[in-house]
Amino acid sequence: MSESSPIRLGYVGLGNIGGPMAGSLAAWTGGLTVFDLSSEAIAKVVEKGAAAAESLADLAASTDIIGICVLDDAQVRSVVAGPDGLLTTARPGTVITVHSTIAPETAVELAEQCAEHEVTLLDAPISGGAMGAASGRLAIMVGGPRAAYEKLKEPFALTADMLVHAGAEVGAGTRMKLARNLLHFISFTATTEAARLAEAAGIDITKLGKVVRHSDAVTGGAGAIMLRDTTAPVATDDPWYGILTGVRTLGEKDLTLALALGDELGVDLPLGQLALRNLAAGLGVPHLEGEPA
């Protein structure tokens, strides 16, 4: 990769997320080369200015930063280190970014294999889904050397409005993604619990959904409390203590009322019971001795 010539991008995997990502990257001044098993998927990105590679080896031989967005660990392994994979022709200095959500261990193993070829592999999972990819509003969480991360900033600004260096170790990006999605899908499950309670109470759950989306847009939803840099208990003289005890008080009151309604209607709310039990400690403001719970 020459400092005087523009970085050349490559992209492998042009599905629901990879296709729109590559479509945005096609505007990069250094050019984009793509590969996929679907000629139809390739054609859509070529229409936006990309070049098509005949093979993975062909792509790797002519690019400097290569994004991968395929189905699973096995496909990522095949693309990177398979008999006809990227490492067969990738030149020293090449950076490979894995956008698929894979096991952190897979990313570490592949990074070690890449290092033998003087190639840097970064795990760079994404958040925002197909909608974020289509609108250029993705968040990309990158694990690996800071110097390689810095090379991504300018080109990836075409497809993501948030690029985060999750850590200097490969695998850090994936670990951040897994924590993010733990919250995501627990909240989805909690949403189904709330819908069951509302339906049993005779409430129009589509109207409830409108209220939830409206208020979450104002308050920030669950992510609004993720502002501290530690999960340790909050000292009583910490400015956060008053804020989070207020959240605790309101949350415990409302959860208690919701659980009482569930009991009245015969609706089991296990996530609500767990939330009531764990909220105070989770916020870092457990009830003090003698303080009413």
pLDDT digits (tens, 9 = 90+) for 29-72: 999 999 999 999 999 999 999 999 999 999 999 999 999 999 99
Domains in the chain, number:
2
Domain residue limits at 109: 9-175
Of 111, 141, 175, the residue at which a domain comes to its end is: 175
Element (H, E) at 95: strand 95-98
Question: Does residue 177 carry a catalytic annotation?
Answer: yes
Q: From the candidates 151, 177, 207, 210, which is the catalytic residue?
A: 177
Among residues 100, 102, 145, which one has the least CA distance to residue 120?
Answer: 145
pLDDT digits (tens, 9 = 90+) for 146-187: 999 999 999 999 999 999 999 999 999 999 999 999 999 999
- Mark whether 76 and 150 lie in a shared domain: yes
Residue 290 lies in a domain: no
Strand pairing of 126-127 and 120-123? unpaired
Phi first, then psi: give them for residue 126, nearest 5 degrees: -120, 155
Statement: residue 247 has pLDDT above 60? yes
Cβ neighbour number for residue 204 with a 10 Å cutoff: 10
- Mark whether 151 and 37 lie in a shared domain: yes
- Whole-model pTM? 0.87
Residue 187 lies in a domain: no
Q: Averaged over 86-97, what is the pLDDT?
A: 98
Q: Averaged over 181-203, what is the pLDDT?
A: 95
- Mark whether 122 and 254 lie in a shared domain: no
Q: Averaged over 2-26, what is the pLDDT?
A: 91
Tokens representing 87?
């490492």
